[in-house]
Amino acid sequence: MTASPRALLEVRDLRVSLSVPGGTVRAVDGVDLTVMPGETHAILGESGCGKSMTALSILRLLPAAGRVVDGSVRLDGTDLLRLPEDAMRAVRGRRVAMIFQEPQSSLNPVLTVGDQIAEGVRRHQGLSRRAALRRAVELLEAVGIPDPSRRASEYPHQLSGGMKQRVMIATALAGEPDLLIADEPTTALDVTIQAQVLELLDQLRRERGMAVLLITHDLGVVAESAQRVAVMYAGQVVEEGVTADLFARPLHPYTRKLFAALPAVGKRGGALEVIPGTVPSLTAHVPGCRFAPRCDQAWALCRAAAPGWHPLGRGQGVRCHLYAEGRDRARSLPPGPAVVPASMAVPRDVTPTPLLRVRGLQVHFPIRRGLLQRVVGQVRAVDGVDLDLAAGRTLALVGESGCGKTTVGHAVLQLLRPTAGSVRFDGEELTRLSGPRLRQRRRELQIVFQDPYASMNPRMLVGDIVEEGMLAQGTLPDRTARRSRVADLLAQVGLDPGATDRYPHEFSGGQRQRVAIARALAVEPRLVVCDEPTSALDVSVQAQILNLLRNLQDHLGLAYLFITHNLAVVEYLAHEVAVMYLGRIVERGPVGAVLRGPAHPYTRALLSAVPVPDPAGGRAVIHLEGELPSPSQPPRGCHFHPRCPEARDLCRESYPETVGVGTGHRVACHLHPPS
């Protein structure tokens, strides 16, 4: 009889508290986890549920206000919480290593990446400085960084986001750990880089027999990377099981709502499922189930008594009264939210004439060097873009970071003056406007920024922030009328009008994004540029914002230029999509045509890299060699040819013409020559 493998990590009844001015936050409240050697175990949940605090507790790296109140963390049978600090230092990096969410803030900006990796090698393997630097180069090569000897001598600011994340992985591997904790390792990365990082982690896990504790809120990443998954809510694990089983039949009402909140083309025409209310405050004792105030299946018992843990076989378990002994478990599986299939969605009445027409748009930034700051070159951020957008429609602009998407949005609004080209809004050329006339036109064009907190004055009340645009445009000169309008706008975006007297830091990320949308609507715009408005949001909050944007468009006839790298959002919300690469649009057309039948190799690579929330999905990722070239020195010929798996000699010689490949579907690629 073969003995069962011994667990590498066993967390039992872990409780962590944080001392804050308002009291004590029970950030982690009775968490149990078991991680086996060589497996990837994911912790899934929304922001603030306790995922990162659980990971930091394992390494005893809690902030100064945090402390472990109770529980045990056993690594190969040794309780890490009982070790003296000197012994714990030998565990960190050597037995257990961690990849932090934001590599830029985790890497030392004044040390080369080679020195930073070598520091860990010397600490844990006792090598000389020269030997440690050689090992650092080997680790950079192992994580797929090209020309590792040269890169080892560079500083973090000289590397792309994907490369910095690979350096973080190499640093974590310096001590050859048994357990690697990856805290949201792909959240800020493009889908192509995300696919590379996830594949790298899985390859290292298989080759080294290393276990991975993956912390994420992305269901697609979990489906494709993890063997087991634990779902956390308000400091507790509410469901756990084998990934395939949990995705096939999620049990807890919270888990089911997370799945229902995912945008998809099949949900076009219908509202996404949202989770009403907010996560309960963890400073006060909650007598019953923590999810009960937001659960549509809760009854009196849920509010009076906390549910226990109910194991259900095959390693799956759930913390819910629906699964108590003797209860009818069918209650846990209600029908999903009603969704109108894409083919049945009611078409909207739209104006066939474009509200926005962009032709030949160029935005170049001078490169200056020397004492006299002479211009020695140009960064071609946007290099000849054509766009059309009608009222009541959404045009999605997608592509990797650095391709010029945000610059296009700013140039349309004249926040950046174009180098060349035409931007016509409602028939008027915006590039020729200045002063009062441009200011007047800007009332009709607004923007919602990616980071709502950074775009708001933290010293201003929310009411003043929303009112500011009306003051600048001179609309509603009466203060009473303006304040009434502010209250109406906040109600329109789903916020309590009483929010006017609160500051931005008092709101959650989703609520701040609602304030940003209210501010944009204050001057009654006709076109809104949405710059990655959901990229930093949890699945459930993202669903709220997408529902809001869709409803506003239906009722107000707004046109959206939606800048994003989330193709699931594009499928759900957009009517047309334009794919950008290195300052130019390589493919554009109706969403269904482009996403179902991509004609450009770059579009196909982007689509192949999107994680699918289905463990049995079996997608084949198209790997792009190298990195996005510098826009200051774009490649000769087709800009994509150095990374294109289908490049031919003609691609290296000339840039392709844009040709039609279907109704409204156009592509710039030599694989589709002019007829």
598-654 pLDDT, tens digit per residue, is 999 999 999 998 888 888 766 678 878 777 788 888 999 999 999 999 999 999 999
Task: Check if the beta carbon of residue 219 is closer than 8 Å to that of residue 13.
Answer: no
Tokens of 187: 């959240």
- Residue 518 in this model has a pLDDT that exceeds 60: yes
CB 19 within 8 A of CB 227: no
Please write the tens of the pLDDT for every residue from 438-448: 988 989 999 99
CB 312 within 8 A of CB 323: yes
Asked whether the domain spanning 355-668 has the same topology as the one spanning 9-95+177-332, the reply is: yes
pLDDT on residue 611: 84
Of 291-305, 481-495, 579-593, 615-629, the one with minimum mean pLDDT is 615-629
Over residues 517-534, the mean pLDDT reads 92
SS (H, E, C) 12-28: EEEEEEEEECCEEEEEE
Q: What are phi and psi of 405, to 5 degrees?
A: -60, -55
Distance separating alpha carbons of residues 20 and 18, to the nearest angstrom: 6
Complete DSSP assignment for 58-127: HTT---TTEEEEEEEEEETTEEGGGS-HHHHHHHBTTTEEEE-S-HHHHS-TTS-HHHHHHHHHHHHH--
Going by pLDDT thresholds of 50, 70 and 90, the confidence category of residue 514 is: confident
Stretch 496-524: mean pLDDT: 86
> If 0-12 CB within 10 Å is exposed, 13-18 middle and 19+ buried, where does residue 81 land?
middle
Taking residue 598's Cβ as centre, other Cβ atoms within 10 Å add up to 20
Quick one: average pLDDT of 92-116?
Answer: 88
| Mean pLDDT of all residues in 57-75 | 94
Least confident of 54-58, 316-320, 465-469, 562-566: 562-566
What is the per-residue pLDDT for 33?
A: 95
Task: Give 614-629 as a DSSP string.
Answer: -TT------PPPS-PP
For residues 305 and 542, the model is more confident at: 305
**What pLDDT shows up at residue 352?**
59
Is 348 a residue whose pLDDT tops 50? no
> Which region among 149-163, 329-343, 410-424 has the lowest average model confidence (pLDDT)?
329-343
pLDDT above 70: residue 411: yes
- Summarize the confidence of residues 512-519 as an average pLDDT: 90
And the tokens for 124? Answer: 């844990």
Whole-number pLDDT of residue 625: 75
Is 70 exceeded by the pLDDT of residue 333? no
Report the percentage of the chain scoring pLDDT > 70: 94
Q: Average of pLDDT values for 169-177?
A: 89
184: number of Cβ within 10 Å: 19
Query: Cα–Cα distance between 5 and 12 in angstroms, integer?
Result: 18
Q: Is the pLDDT of residue 346 over 50?
A: no
pLDDT band at residue 98 using 50, 70 and 90 as cut-offs: very high
In this model, does residue 508 exceed pLDDT 80? no
CB 244 within 8 A of CB 198: no
Percentage of the chain exceeding pLDDT 90: 57
What is the arithmetic mean of pLDDT over 55-81? 94
Confidence of residue 1 (pLDDT cuts 50, 70, 90): very low
The mean pLDDT of 468-494, rounded to a whole number, is 89
pLDDT-based confidence at 330, cuts 50/70/90? very low
Region label for 204, one of left (φ > 0), alpha (ψ between -120 and 50) or beta (otherwise):
alpha
CA distance 145 to 162: 10
Confidence of residue 104 (pLDDT cuts 50, 70, 90): confident
The predicted model gives 661-675 an average pLDDT of 93
- Residue 349 is predicted with a pLDDT of 40
- Region 9-95+177-332: CATH code: 3.40.50.300
Lowest mean pLDDT among 3-7, 29-33, 579-583: 3-7
Which tokens go with 16?
A: 């962590």
Please say if the pLDDT value at position 331 is more than 80. no
May I ask the CATH class of domain 355-668?
Answer: alpha beta
Q: Which residues pair with 589 in a beta bridge?
A: 577
Q: Is the pLDDT of residue 350 over 70?
A: no
Domain segments of the chain: what residues? 9-95+177-332, 106-176, 355-668
pLDDT-derived band at 327, boundaries 50, 70, 90: low
Mean pLDDT across the chain: 88
Q: pLDDT, tens digit, for every residue of 123-146?
A: 888 889 999 999 999 999 888 787
Length of the chain counted residue by residue:
675
Predicted pLDDT at 2: 46
Backbone dihedral angles phi then psi of residue 452, each to the nearest 5 degrees: -65, -30
| Contact yes or no for 41/35 (Cβ under 8 A) | yes
What is the rounded average pLDDT of the residues 502-528? 88
Q: Name the amino acid, one letter, at 155.
A: Y
| Whether the predicted pLDDT of 470 surpasses 50 | yes
One-letter amino acid at 305 equals A
What pLDDT is stored for residue 351 in this prediction? 44
Q: In the predicted model, is pLDDT for residue 528 greater than 50? A: yes
| Mean pLDDT within 49-67 | 92
